[in-house]
Structure formats: structure tokens, C-alpha cells
Amino acid sequence: MTAEIDIKSNLSKVYANIERAAKRSGRDVNDITLIAVSKTKPVSMIKECIECGTVIFGENKAQEMASKISELHDDNLNWHFIGHLQRNKVKYVVGNACMIHSVDSVRLAEAINAEAVKKGVICDILIEVNIACEDTKFGIKAEDIYNFIDEIRNFPYIKIRGLMTIAPYVDNPEDNRIHFKHLRNLLVDINSKNIDNVYMDVLSMGMTGDYEVAVEEGATIVRVGTGIFGDRIYV
């Protein structure tokens, strides 16, 4: 079922869970942003979400995001690109996404910067970290973070806002606490070094199965799809 009442109810549950997790960890719930992950979902379902007051969405395919933005034509919406980004798709994302969560190579950062120059925009990015060192995941290794930052921090049209990770898929969300804690500590360590042109204030971590633990460990953005829209629709 994709009736409006389902999405409304699901959103209420997610927001309530975020609020409880924030209270448990002594955080202000207003410091946490929920991205409704609308990848593979039809525009009709996004409209239901908008009617419930949600304006922040996440997509993982560049052209699908651009198409949805064009169809909805609503300047009040904020779009985050959360998937693996190929360099030849950057043109569809820069200028459309308010933040790119998945920067994990110098060549991609170069391409984003070049496209941002063309469009005259500053592009907020997150560095994707493969915090659990999984062979099947994109992202740089934690131990390589400082070299990577040094290579991209002087691109004039890119602003490094923080870190993102996709934690392992686990049955028990507590199993990912160590990874979320590691990413938060990494961000704190980076900021403590006062690197020129770098100040990170965004931690994008936590999905439907583990976002409450992520909030407890300092997430400022959580990315929830199935918890709002139900099971994936593959296209």
C-alpha cells in the first residue's frame, strides 16, 4: 500500500524515534536532519511526503534526480545526492543537489569543481568513508582521509562539509555503533587539526535499520527510505 496515511504514519514514527534517540543522548533534535530517501520511488509518493511537510529528499541516480526535480518544479525542496556518482553524470547533479554525500576520489572532486565553475555555484560535499572496510562498498579508508582532504581542500568551488558512511547491513543495529562512533571521532579529530579551508559540521550516517543508534552517536543527517516509503521499487 502507498496510501497517504501510510507515509504520514511512517514519517511520524521516524520523527518520534529520532526525537527519542536525541533525548537519550542529550542532543537537540533540531540538530538532526531527516532525508527521505526517495530513490526508485514515483513522484506521486514524493508528493504524499511533501503534503506531510517533508521537503528534504535523497536520490542515488543522477538522471532520475534531475527528472524528478524537473517534474516537481518546486524550489522549496532540497535534494541530496547520496549514491555513487560517476564523473560523466556530474553535470546532472551539480546545481541540482544541495549536497553531494558520496565524494570518494580526487578525479570525482575535480569533475564536481569543474562543473561548479561552469555553473557559478559552490558545491557542498561530504567525503564518503568506508568506515568498516567492506570490499563491496565505495568510499575511502579512514586511514587515507588526511591525504584525501589535502588533495581536494583547495578546489575553490567545493566546500567540504563533513563525512558520510554506509554502515554494514546488520540484524542488530547495535553492531554498527562502533562504526558510527569511529566516524564521529574521525570528524572531531579532523576539526581539531584546524586544516585550512576545512571545517566539518555534517555527519551523514544511519539508515532505516540503524538510524536511532546513529543519532545517539552524533549523526546530523540520517537517510531513511524503507522506513518511510516501504520496500524498494526497482526500476
Q: Is the distance from CB of 113 to CB of 153 less than 8 angstroms?
A: no
Q: What are phi and psi of 125, to 5 degrees?
A: -130, 155
Q: What are phi and psi of 14, to 5 degrees?
A: -65, -45
C-alpha cell at 213: 543508534
Mean pLDDT of 63-76: 96
Mean pLDDT of 53-82: 97
pLDDT at 233: 53
- pLDDT of 3 above 50: no
Average the pLDDT over each of 12-16, 132-136, 141-145, 156-160 and give the range with the smallest value: 132-136
State pTM to two decimals.
Answer: 0.94
pLDDT at 234: 46
- pLDDT of 5 above 80: no
pLDDT at 6: 85
Instruction: Place 232 in a pLDDT band, splitting at 50, 70 and 90.
Output: low
C-alpha cell at 166: 554506509
**C-alpha–C-alpha distance, residues 134 and 139, integer Å:** 9
**C-alpha–C-alpha distance, residues 68 and 126, integer Å:** 22
> Percent of the chain beyond pLDDT 70?
96
Instruction: Place 106 in a pLDDT band, splitting at 50, 70 and 90.
Output: very high
Mean pLDDT of 193-221: 97
- Spell out a b/e string for 215-235, using b for 16 or more CB atoms within 10 Å of the CB, else e: bbbbbbbbbbbebbbeeeeee
Kindly report, residue by residue over 148-164, the tens digit of the pLDDT.
999 999 999 999 999 99
pLDDT at 2: 41
Mean pLDDT of 14-31: 98
pLDDT at 231: 75
Domains and CATH numbers, the chain: 4-229 (3.20.20.10)
**C-alpha–C-alpha distance, residues 204 and 218, integer Å:** 9
- pLDDT of 4 above 70: no
- The rounded mean pLDDT for the chain is 95
